Amino acid sequence: MTQPQPGGASEIDSRDVVELILADHREFERLFRALRNRDENRQARLRELADLLVAHAEAEEREVYPELKREAPQDREEIAHSFEEHQEGHEALAALQEISDADQDTFEERLEELVETVTHHLDEEERDVLNAARENVDVATRERLGDAFLQARNDIIAQSPGEPEKVRELIATARDQDSSSQG
Ligand SMILES: [Fe+2]
Ligand SMILES: [Fe+2]
């Protein structure tokens, strides 16, 4: 069974990393609306969301944030904070994936927690990281970053990174790194 490919960054006609990231953010919101709808195939939408959420965050961390830190050192703190918020998003995703029956009230409760966690991150990232990138990073660099972001995002999505056991693994790895970096 092939998964429907998520829209967002892969569907827009721009190479600017800021525009590509924003397009994915709007795709998250579309998937949240679908997941709130009881008539939808919620488990299918959740698989789409999980793949996109993990791939989007990884592509940002790998291809975008390190370069933005170099280009705009004043935004370092916001960028470090984004890593923490990705982890929180993955934790809320894993909690939702534990609910096998999408008609349960618990599914909707955990969905709202996920929506709140991710929406908070999208708002902050747009305000503090992307607005700054638009001001401080030139178009040629934003396009180079956009190409790298999209390539990484699509490569990661192709590996179904949102499968529940992979999400749990990702959370555990990030926790290990966090505790070892705190010594
Ligand atoms: Fe993002
Ligand atoms: Fe992010």
**Exposed (0-12), middle (13-18) or buried (19+): which is 125, by Cβ within 10 Å?**
buried
As residues whose CB is below 5 A from the ion ligand 1, the structure lists: 21, 125
Residue 96's pLDDT is what?
A: 98
With respect to residue 9, please indicate whether it lies within any of the assigned structural domains: no
Which ligand has the shortest distance to the CA of 24? 1
Residues 6+ apart with CB under 8 A from 52: 6, 8, 24, 27, 28, 31, 157, 162
Expressed in angstroms and rounded, the spacing between residue 8 Cα and the centre of ligand 1 is: 11
Expressed in angstroms and rounded, the spacing between residue 35 Cα and the centre of ligand 1 is: 19
183 residues of the chain, pLDDT tens digit each: 455 667 899 999 999 999 999 999 999 999 999 999 999 999 999 999 999 999 999 999 999 999 988 887 777 888 889 999 999 999 999 999 999 888 889 999 999 999 999 999 999 999 999 998 999 899 999 999 999 999 999 999 999 999 999 999 999 999 888 777 765
Expressed in angstroms and rounded, the spacing between residue 14 Cα and the centre of ligand 1 is: 16
Expressed in angstroms and rounded, the spacing between residue 1 Cα and the centre of ligand 2 is: 29
With respect to residue 3, please indicate whether it lies within any of the assigned structural domains: no
With respect to residue 2, please indicate whether it lies within any of the assigned structural domains: no
With respect to residue 143, please indicate whether it lies within any of the assigned structural domains: yes
Which ligand has the shortest distance to the CA of 8? 1
Residue 78's pLDDT is what?
A: 87
With respect to residue 101, please indicate whether it lies within any of the assigned structural domains: yes
Q: Which structural domain range is residue 176 located in?
A: 15-181
Residue 1's pLDDT is what?
A: 43
- As for how many domains the chain has, the answer is 1
The answer to whether the predicted template modeling score (pTM) of the entire model surpasses 0.75 is: yes
Expressed in angstroms and rounded, the spacing between residue 56 Cα and the centre of ligand 1 is: 6
Expressed in angstroms and rounded, the spacing between residue 64 Cα and the centre of ligand 1 is: 10
With respect to residue 100, please indicate whether it lies within any of the assigned structural domains: yes
With respect to residue 160, please indicate whether it lies within any of the assigned structural domains: yes
Closest to 133 (Cα-Cα) out of 121, 120, 146, 117:
146
Residue 165's pLDDT is what?
A: 98
Expressed in angstroms and rounded, the spacing between residue 134 Cα and the centre of ligand 1 is: 14
Which ligand has the shortest distance to the CA of 153? 1
